[in-house]
């Protein structure tokens, strides 16, 4: 014990004697602790904790493999075929990323990012909207897919959290769409999806559906 105290005193004397080194070492140590604490906070939030969805352990993302990638996306024909043949999953959905130009009268045009998903995409997560509703089945057909659901973050930043946004018509790439709902905070998980401002129905054309039927025969 006496030897340990002597070592501690000697260490303090050396630090006081070499003040420049002490300052640099202290700053380096503080920076290292800060970075590690921040990294752990991020990992704990997005990797170690469960996803913010009920029964998240049952969610599975399915990819195709190819010589180019182990996470190759599916084309519409493949998805529709496997959806018809599915006997494993309770729900099976597909999605794709979209980018649109949002224009409102009297407002500056804004580039927004979204996800277009099939009828079971949002219901698969088991989360109800905070405002309004989700998409109706008939809204997944070309020509009637002119509805969107907003993320909470985008609702707050663009519309100031105005509950009257439900039912408002907006212009996305020159097409009139109606806001039918707003999802609760945290639904648009940033590690899974990146930035999501809105969701919209993913509508398959008659040709895409016909290709699926041919592949089933």
- For the segment 8-65, what is each residue's pLDDT rounded down to a tens digit? 465 556 555 655 555 545 555 555 555 555 554 555 455 555 677 887 778 888 877 7
Residues 105, 168: one domain? yes
| Residue spans of beta strands (DSSP E) within the chain | 95-103, 110-117, 131-132, 147-150, 169-172, 175-182, 198-201
Question: 156 and 65, same structural domain?
Answer: yes
> Which of the pair, 69 or 149, is modelled with greater confidence?
149
Distances in Å between the alpha carbon of 88 and those of 85, 117, 214?
Answer: 9, 20, 22
- One domain, residues 82 and 29: no
- List the domain range (segments joined by +) for residue 31: 2-48
Q: Which of 12-26, 142-156, 191-205 ranks highest by mean pLDDT?
A: 142-156
Clarify whether residues 36 and 69 are in a common domain.
no
Is the same domain home to 104 and 127? Answer: yes
Share above pLDDT 70 across residues of the chain, in percent, rounded to a whole number: 74
Contact 99, 112 (CB under 8 A): yes
Mean pLDDT over all residues of the chain? 80
Classify residue 95 as exposed, middle or buried by CB count within 10 Å of its CB (0-12, 13-18, 19+). Answer: middle
Over the stretch 151-183, which tens digit does the pLDDT of each residue have?
999 999 999 999 999 999 999 998 999 999 999
Q: Are residues 144 and 182 in the same domain?
A: yes
What pLDDT does 217 receive? Answer: 36
Same domain, 44 and 62: no
Structural domain tally of the chain? 2
Q: Comparing C-alpha atoms, which of 194, 192, 113, 66 is closest to residue 75?
A: 66
Band of residue 1 on the pLDDT scale cut at 50, 70, 90: low
Indicate if 104 and 193 belong to the same structural domain: yes
Residues 62 and 19 in one domain: no
User: Are residues 10 and 73 located together in one domain of the fold?
Assistant: no
pLDDT number for residue 47: 55
The residue-averaged pLDDT of 197-206 equals 92
Tell me how far apart the alpha carbons of residues 137 and 121 are, in angstroms, rounded to a whole number.
Answer: 12
- Full-model pTM: 0.73
């Amino acid at each position: 014990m006496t030897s340990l105290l002597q070592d501690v005193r000697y260490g303090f004397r050396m630090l006081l004697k070499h003040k420049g080194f002490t300052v640099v070492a202290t700053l380096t140590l503080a920076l290292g602790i800060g970075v590690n604490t921040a990294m752990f906070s991020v990992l704990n939030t997005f990797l170690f904790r469960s996803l913010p969805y009920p029964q998240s352990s049952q969610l599975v993302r399915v990819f195709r493999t190819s010589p180019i990638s182990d996470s190759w996306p599916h084309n519409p024909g493949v998805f529709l075929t496997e959806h018809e043949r599915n006997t494993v999953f309770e729900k099976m959905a597909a999605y794709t990323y979209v980018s649109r130009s949002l224009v409102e009268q009297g407002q500056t045009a804004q580039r927004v990012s979204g996800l277009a998903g099939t009828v079971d995409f949002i219901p698969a997560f088991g989360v109800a909207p905070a405002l309004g509703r989700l998409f109706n089945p008939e809204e997944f057909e070309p020509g009637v897919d002119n509805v969107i659901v907003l993320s909470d973050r985008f609702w707050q930043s663009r519309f100031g959290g105005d509950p009257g946004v439900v039912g408002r018509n907006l212009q996305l790439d020159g097409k009139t769409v109606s806001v039918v709902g707003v999802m609760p905070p945290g639904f648009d998980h940033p590690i899974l999806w990146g930035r999501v401002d809105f969701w919209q129905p993913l509508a398959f054309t008659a040709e895409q559906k016909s290709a699926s039927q041919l592949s089933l025969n």
